[in-house]
Amino acid sequence: MTTPADTLIDTGTEELLCVLRDRVAVITLNRPQARNALSDRLTPALRRMIRHCGESPDVGALLITGAGAAFCAGGDVKGMGGGAPELSFDEKVARLQERQRTLTGALVNVRKPTIAALPGPAAGAGLALALACDLRIAAESAVVTTAYVRIGLSGDYGMAWLLTRIVGTARARELMFFADKIDARRCETLGLVNRVVADDALRDEAFAMAHTLAHGPATALRFLKDNLDEALMHDFMTALDHEAERMVRASATADHREAVKAFVEKRKPVFGAG
């Protein structure tokens, strides 16, 4: 549902919807009849929207969700098996590498807050898409599964990397090896999702989270993401040095000055777009 204040963004296909609502880009996978499984139309459009919204100064946060009662069922299993026989092994690998880099790879690299709202199942690449976001909020009825092993596949779109960093190596192996369906409450316990809400409250709660972040201090949030990402990559002393540089840069922003002034005046700060 859109409001008069919404700005519709043309995605090039009805299989993906994008609305800019008060600095939140609401991106909706729109194949409810197929549980929003990725397709040759939906996936390229999603790549374009991730890039566009990640770069647009009008967007403060990205909220990705699915139409109907599912988030994303991953790849369309019915279309698997045939492959592209005209391509060599190396060509197939290169094609998948490029597709991964421009989807979950691009999403992880967005320097704005990203949230996945799960109204229902997230499986395979659909789960990887959710895990590539900064935060996840799930409806009570949502379930997730890695799914790959059930169709004889090893995983793609960064699933193993993302899972390991979110739940640890032992849990990641369990989730990948058995591909069990995990309900929303257990997902919250494992750390797969940050919050679980009633089904009918999901969209409002998810938008409220995204709205708060979209109107936060953009530079500070970008630097926060850099710090958090580097916590998984660098030794402590290197992380300290990089934190110091970003802290000094953030202290010179208009957002910082506004926050200090608002604190003194005992009011809520009003941050700018940059």
**Whether residues 91 and 193 fall in one domain:** yes
Residue 1 lies in a domain: no
Number of domains in the chain: 2
Residue 68 lies in a domain: yes
Work out the mean pLDDT of the chain and round it to a whole number. Answer: 95
Give the pLDDT band of residue 2 (cuts 50, 70, 90): low
- Mean local confidence (pLDDT), 79-99: 84
Give per-residue pLDDT as tens, 127-184.
999 999 999 999 999 999 999 999 999 999 999 999 999 999 999 999 999 999 999 9
Domain that holds residue 258: 218-265
Predicted confidence at residue 79, as pLDDT, reads 60
Give the pLDDT band of residue 76 (cuts 50, 70, 90): confident
Predicted confidence at residue 83, as pLDDT, reads 58
**Whether residues 254 and 118 fall in one domain:** no
Q: Residue 167 sits in a domain of what CATH number?
A: 3.90.226.10
Q: Residue 250 sits in a domain of what CATH number?
A: 1.10.12
Residue 212 confidence (pLDDT) above 50? yes
Structure tokens at 23: 């600095």
**Whether residues 24 and 120 fall in one domain:** yes
**Whether residues 238 and 178 fall in one domain:** no
Residue 247 lies in a domain: yes
**Whether residues 106 and 228 fall in one domain:** no
CA distance linking residue 124 with residue 37, whole number of Å: 10
CA distance linking residue 50 with residue 220, whole number of Å: 21
